[in-house]
Each structure stands twice: as C-alpha cells, then as structure tokens.
C-alpha cells in the first residue's frame, strides 16, 4: 500500500510516463555505484548513489517537497547550508531559476556529487566547508552514521574541514541580503545561532531543521537568536518568515 502511494506521488508530481520512469530508476537498482536520470524542468542529469540514503533525500525534496515555499516569492540569493549531494540546490534551481544559489557541504564524498549535480548551472556556487559561527577547523564526530547525518565539532588540530560562517559568505556576495536560508546541518545550528548572528537581520526567510536530539540546546539557541526580530513562525520549529 505504501509503495503504491509512492508510485502515485511520483506520477502526480511528474506525469504518468516521467513519474513511472523516475520511480523505477530511483527505487529499482540494488547494485553499487551511481545512477543518473532527468527531472522535468531541469536541464542536466541528476546523479544519486545506489544503496544509500540518497533516494530518501530525493523523495523528501522532490516528491514530498519539504522545501516548497509558501506564498509568492522571487528570491535573488539562496544559501543552502548542509547541501549534501545538491538535491535541495537543484530543487531551488528548478523553482527559482533566476536565483543565485550558494551551497555549503563539508563531507568530501557528498561534495564531489554536489559538484557533479550542479556543475551545469552557472548560478550555483559550491563551498567545501562546514557552516559554523567563525573560521576554525572541524572534524566529523559520527563517522559510522550515513552520509546524510554526519555531525561536526570544532578541533584544535588542522583537519580536512574548514569552517565558514554566514557572515563570511555574505562578504563574498554582491548583496547585503539573503532571501532564503535553508539550513540542515545536523546540530551545528546551535553554534551558528549562538554567536556572530549579524546575518539574521539581513535574512528574509529561514528554513532550519533543528536537531535537538544531536546537539542539546540547539532549539533554545535558534529561538533565542530569532527573538526580537520580525519573523513569524510558519511551520513548527523549521520555517521562519520575515513579517
């Protein structure tokens, strides 16, 4: 029954032929490696890893549309923090083709696929960094988890991951405004929202997945940082809009 519902959702989203073809491609293969496929309204192929959580991320973003934006907006600058393999960036590209999209991803395997998925779009820029409140060195702390759930923490050792802040990203852009900030960074939102939060006053819409179960105090850090700003809480703990 659940499988039949998913097939229907694919068909409803992409049409009968495209929906069935996408469902069979994304769900059917059990071998290793990557698969590629086309999504309507995207110019280039999309790549995901077989036998991984990538197909779940794909379905969350393109079938369940967890990043569908309420209201009518025409964003110029979107930051995609915790970009994984680039599926959210491609969703934003498909929805807002005129926007400049900045994708930030710390994990090398994910970043390689992020670059592959977005290389055909000149308006998408990729940063191989972990989002943090300041420049520092980071390390992955839960290497046994899946590639969509890696957490990072600060380290005194010179590691493979360099941290970058939202203020750092803003300084490199020809704008002083973020239209949409999507953040799914597995607990690091605690550090990002605790200090150096000047960027909040320059952000119109924030979509943040809060991982209280991974970093105690993350929820309080987010809500405390946003207190006093004219945001409305649109969807539980995740979606904040500037009034």
Q: What six digits make up the tokens of 222?
A: 């987010």
Helix (H) or strand (E) holding 95: helix 87-95
Q: What is the mean pLDDT of residues 208-218?
A: 88
CB 18 within 8 A of CB 40: yes
Which contiguous run of DSSP H or E holds residue 154?
strand 152-155
What's the pLDDT tens digit per position in 75-121?
999 999 999 999 999 999 999 999 999 999 999 999 999 999 999 99
Retrieve residue 98's tokens: 């005129």
Given a contact cutoff of 8 angstroms between Cβ atoms, the answer to whether 219 and 210 are in contact is yes
> Angle formed by the axes of helices 16-28 and 2-14, to 10°?
130
CA distance 184 to 211: 9
d(CA 10, CA 58): 11
CATH of domain 69-242: 3.40.50.150
Average pLDDT on 203-219 reads 90
Domain spans in the chain, listed from the N-terminal domain onward: 1-66, 69-242
Supply the pTM of this predicted model.
0.89
Longest pairwise C-alpha distance within the chain: 54
109-163 residue pLDDT tens: 999 999 999 999 999 999 999 999 998 888 887 665 656 667 787 788 776 789 9
């Amino acid at each position: 029954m659940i499988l039949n519902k998913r097939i229907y959702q694919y068909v409803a989203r992409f049409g009968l032929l495209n929906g069935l073809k996408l469902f069979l491609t994304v769900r059917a293969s059990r071998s290793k490696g990557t698969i590629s496929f086309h999504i309507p309204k995207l110019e280039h192929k999309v790549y995901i890893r077989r036998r991984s959580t990538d197909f779940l991320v794909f379905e969350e973003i393109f079938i369940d549309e967890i990043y569908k934006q309420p209201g009518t907006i025409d964003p110029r600058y979107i930051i995609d923090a915790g970009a994984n393999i680039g599926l959210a960036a491609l969703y934003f590209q498909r929805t807002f083709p005129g926007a400049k999209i900045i994708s930030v991803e710390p994990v090398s395997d994910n970043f390689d696929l992020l670059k592959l998925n977005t290389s055909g779009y000149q308006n998408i820029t990729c940063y191989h960094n972990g989002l943090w409140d300041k420049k520092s060195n980071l390390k992955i702390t839960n290497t046994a988890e899946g590639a969509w759930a890696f957490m990072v923490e600060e380290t005194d050792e010179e590691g493979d991951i360099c941290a970058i802040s939202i203020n750092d990203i803003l300084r490199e852009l020809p704008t002083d405004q973020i239209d949409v900030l999507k953040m799914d960074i597995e607990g690091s939102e605690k550090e990002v929202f605790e200090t150096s939060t000047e960027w909040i006053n320059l952000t119109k819409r924030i979509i943040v997945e809060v991982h209280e179960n991974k970093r105690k105090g993350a929820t309080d850090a987010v809500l405390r940082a946003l207190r006093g700003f004219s945001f409305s809480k649109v969807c539980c703990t995740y979606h904040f809009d500037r009034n």
